[in-house]
Structure 1
Amino acid sequence: MHLDKLIQLVKSRRESLQVTQEMLADLSGVGLRTLKQFESGKGNPTLSTLQKLADALGMEVALKVKELKTDL
Protein backbone atom coordinates (compact mmCIF):
# COMPACT_ATOMS: atom_id res chain seq x y z
CA MET A 1 0.00 0.00 0.00
CA HIS A 2 1.26 3.43 -0.83
CA LEU A 3 1.83 5.92 1.95
CA ASP A 4 -0.74 8.34 0.51
CA LYS A 5 -3.46 5.70 0.75
CA LEU A 6 -2.41 4.82 4.31
CA ILE A 7 -2.54 8.48 5.33
CA GLN A 8 -6.03 8.82 3.88
CA LEU A 9 -7.25 5.66 5.66
CA VAL A 10 -6.01 6.85 9.06
CA LYS A 11 -7.34 10.37 8.58
CA SER A 12 -10.73 9.13 7.35
CA ARG A 13 -11.05 6.74 10.29
CA ARG A 14 -10.13 9.50 12.75
CA GLU A 15 -12.66 11.86 11.23
CA SER A 16 -15.43 9.23 11.08
CA LEU A 17 -14.95 8.63 14.81
CA GLN A 18 -15.07 12.40 15.36
CA VAL A 19 -11.64 12.34 16.99
CA THR A 20 -9.47 15.44 16.73
CA GLN A 21 -5.76 15.25 16.07
CA GLU A 22 -5.17 16.35 19.65
CA MET A 23 -7.41 13.58 20.99
CA LEU A 24 -5.71 10.95 18.82
CA ALA A 25 -2.28 12.11 19.92
CA ASP A 26 -3.34 11.69 23.57
CA LEU A 27 -5.05 8.33 22.97
CA SER A 28 -2.18 6.87 20.97
CA GLY A 29 0.83 8.33 22.73
CA VAL A 30 2.05 9.73 19.41
CA GLY A 31 3.21 13.33 19.50
CA LEU A 32 0.81 15.88 18.04
CA ARG A 33 3.52 17.25 15.77
CA THR A 34 4.30 13.74 14.49
CA LEU A 35 0.62 13.09 13.82
CA LYS A 36 0.18 16.40 11.99
CA GLN A 37 3.24 15.74 9.85
CA PHE A 38 1.98 12.25 9.03
CA GLU A 39 -1.50 13.43 8.04
CA SER A 40 -0.04 16.21 5.88
CA GLY A 41 2.20 13.74 4.06
CA LYS A 42 5.39 15.33 5.37
CA GLY A 43 6.31 12.68 7.90
CA ASN A 44 7.76 9.21 7.60
CA PRO A 45 6.24 7.23 10.48
CA THR A 46 7.83 4.17 11.97
CA LEU A 47 5.92 0.90 12.17
CA SER A 48 5.65 1.50 15.90
CA THR A 49 3.96 4.85 15.32
CA LEU A 50 1.57 3.33 12.79
CA GLN A 51 0.71 0.56 15.26
CA LYS A 52 -0.04 3.07 18.01
CA LEU A 53 -2.33 5.06 15.73
CA ALA A 54 -4.05 1.91 14.48
CA ASP A 55 -4.61 0.62 18.01
CA ALA A 56 -6.14 3.92 19.11
CA LEU A 57 -8.44 3.95 16.07
CA GLY A 58 -9.46 0.27 16.28
CA MET A 59 -7.56 -0.62 13.14
CA GLU A 60 -5.09 -3.38 12.34
CA VAL A 61 -1.62 -3.07 10.82
CA ALA A 62 -0.46 -5.97 8.67
CA LEU A 63 2.96 -6.15 7.08
CA LYS A 64 3.24 -8.03 3.82
CA VAL A 65 6.66 -9.15 2.69
CA LYS A 66 6.99 -10.37 -0.84
CA GLU A 67 9.90 -12.41 -2.10
CA LEU A 68 11.32 -11.16 -5.36
CA LYS A 69 12.63 -13.63 -7.90
CA THR A 70 16.00 -12.74 -9.29
CA ASP A 71 18.19 -14.48 -11.82
CA LEU A 72 21.75 -14.58 -10.59
Structure 2
Amino acid sequence: MDKRYAQMSPAEQVERRREVLSHIQARPELSVDQVVSLLRGELRFTLSEYSRLTGVSARVIQDIEQGRGNPTLGTVEKLLAPFGLKLAVVSSRAPRLIQGGE
Protein backbone atom coordinates (compact mmCIF):
# COMPACT_ATOMS: atom_id res chain seq x y z
CA MET A 1 0.00 0.00 0.00
CA ASP A 2 1.06 3.54 -0.71
CA LYS A 3 3.02 4.87 2.28
CA ARG A 4 1.42 8.33 1.99
CA TYR A 5 -1.72 6.92 3.60
CA ALA A 6 -2.39 5.39 7.00
CA GLN A 7 -2.48 1.61 6.98
CA MET A 8 -6.02 0.21 6.62
CA SER A 9 -7.23 -2.83 8.48
CA PRO A 10 -8.17 -5.88 6.39
CA ALA A 11 -11.86 -5.10 6.96
CA GLU A 12 -11.34 -1.51 5.77
CA GLN A 13 -9.48 -2.76 2.70
CA VAL A 14 -12.33 -5.13 1.79
CA GLU A 15 -14.90 -2.37 2.25
CA ARG A 16 -12.91 0.04 0.10
CA ARG A 17 -12.63 -2.58 -2.65
CA ARG A 18 -16.39 -3.14 -2.55
CA GLU A 19 -17.03 0.59 -2.84
CA VAL A 20 -14.62 1.00 -5.77
CA LEU A 21 -16.02 -2.01 -7.63
CA SER A 22 -19.59 -0.78 -7.08
CA HIS A 23 -18.60 2.63 -8.44
CA ILE A 24 -17.04 1.05 -11.54
CA GLN A 25 -20.04 -1.23 -12.15
CA ALA A 26 -22.42 1.72 -11.87
CA ARG A 27 -20.46 3.64 -14.53
CA PRO A 28 -19.89 1.35 -17.54
CA GLU A 29 -18.99 4.38 -19.65
CA LEU A 30 -15.61 4.72 -17.92
CA SER A 31 -12.67 4.21 -20.26
CA VAL A 32 -9.91 1.68 -19.61
CA ASP A 33 -7.48 4.39 -18.51
CA GLN A 34 -10.06 5.80 -16.09
CA VAL A 35 -10.77 2.37 -14.58
CA VAL A 36 -7.07 1.52 -14.20
CA SER A 37 -6.35 4.88 -12.61
CA LEU A 38 -9.37 4.58 -10.32
CA LEU A 39 -8.44 1.07 -9.18
CA ARG A 40 -4.85 1.93 -8.44
CA GLY A 41 -5.56 5.29 -6.84
CA GLU A 42 -8.56 4.38 -4.71
CA LEU A 43 -7.06 1.09 -3.56
CA ARG A 44 -3.82 2.91 -2.79
CA PHE A 45 -1.46 0.75 -4.83
CA THR A 46 1.87 2.17 -5.92
CA LEU A 47 2.86 1.61 -9.54
CA SER A 48 5.31 -1.11 -8.51
CA GLU A 49 2.69 -2.88 -6.34
CA TYR A 50 0.10 -2.85 -9.12
CA SER A 51 2.77 -4.02 -11.55
CA ARG A 52 3.71 -6.98 -9.34
CA LEU A 53 0.05 -7.85 -8.79
CA THR A 54 -0.81 -7.86 -12.50
CA GLY A 55 2.42 -8.76 -14.27
CA VAL A 56 2.19 -5.56 -16.35
CA SER A 57 5.19 -3.21 -16.31
CA ALA A 58 4.92 -0.03 -14.27
CA ARG A 59 5.73 2.02 -17.38
CA VAL A 60 2.83 0.48 -19.33
CA ILE A 61 0.45 1.12 -16.42
CA GLN A 62 1.61 4.71 -16.16
CA ASP A 63 1.17 5.27 -19.91
CA ILE A 64 -2.35 3.80 -19.79
CA GLU A 65 -3.35 5.97 -16.83
CA GLN A 66 -2.10 9.08 -18.61
CA GLY A 67 -4.00 8.23 -21.78
CA ARG A 68 -0.82 7.64 -23.78
CA GLY A 69 -0.99 3.87 -23.82
CA ASN A 70 -2.65 1.62 -26.34
CA PRO A 71 -2.95 -1.62 -24.36
CA THR A 72 -3.70 -4.97 -25.91
CA LEU A 73 -6.78 -6.87 -24.76
CA GLY A 74 -4.47 -9.24 -22.90
CA THR A 75 -2.90 -6.37 -20.97
CA VAL A 76 -6.30 -4.97 -20.04
CA GLU A 77 -7.41 -8.40 -18.86
CA LYS A 78 -4.30 -8.66 -16.66
CA LEU A 79 -5.00 -5.25 -15.14
CA LEU A 80 -8.64 -6.08 -14.33
CA ALA A 81 -8.48 -9.78 -13.39
CA PRO A 82 -7.22 -9.40 -9.78
CA PHE A 83 -10.41 -7.47 -9.03
CA GLY A 84 -12.82 -9.88 -10.71
CA LEU A 85 -13.44 -7.47 -13.60
CA LYS A 86 -13.61 -8.13 -17.35
CA LEU A 87 -13.59 -5.87 -20.35
CA ALA A 88 -17.04 -5.52 -21.95
CA VAL A 89 -18.75 -3.69 -24.76
CA VAL A 90 -21.60 -1.34 -23.85
CA SER A 91 -23.77 0.89 -25.96
CA SER A 92 -22.97 4.55 -25.67
CA ARG A 93 -26.41 5.61 -26.90
CA ALA A 94 -29.88 4.24 -27.57
CA PRO A 95 -29.90 1.40 -30.08
CA ARG A 96 -30.78 2.25 -33.66
CA LEU A 97 -33.18 -0.08 -35.41
CA ILE A 98 -31.86 -1.52 -38.64
CA GLN A 99 -34.43 -1.39 -41.43
CA GLY A 100 -34.54 -3.20 -44.69
CA GLY A 101 -31.19 -4.32 -46.04
CA GLU A 102 -29.07 -1.82 -44.15
TM-score by length of 1: 0.74
The structure with the larger Rg is 2
C-alpha separation in 1, matches of 2:80 and 2:87: 10
TM-score by length of 2: 0.55
Q: Within 5 Å, which residues of 2 pair with 1:19-38?
A: 19-38=45-64
Measured on the aligned residues, the alpha-carbon RMSD in Å equals 2.5
Structure 1 unmatched runs, 5+: none
Higher relative contact order (CA 8 A, sep 6+): 1
Runs of 4+ in 1 over 4 A off after TM superposition: none
Structure 2 unmatched runs, 5+: 1-27, 92-97
Paired residue total: 68
Q: Percent identical across equivalent pairs?
A: 30
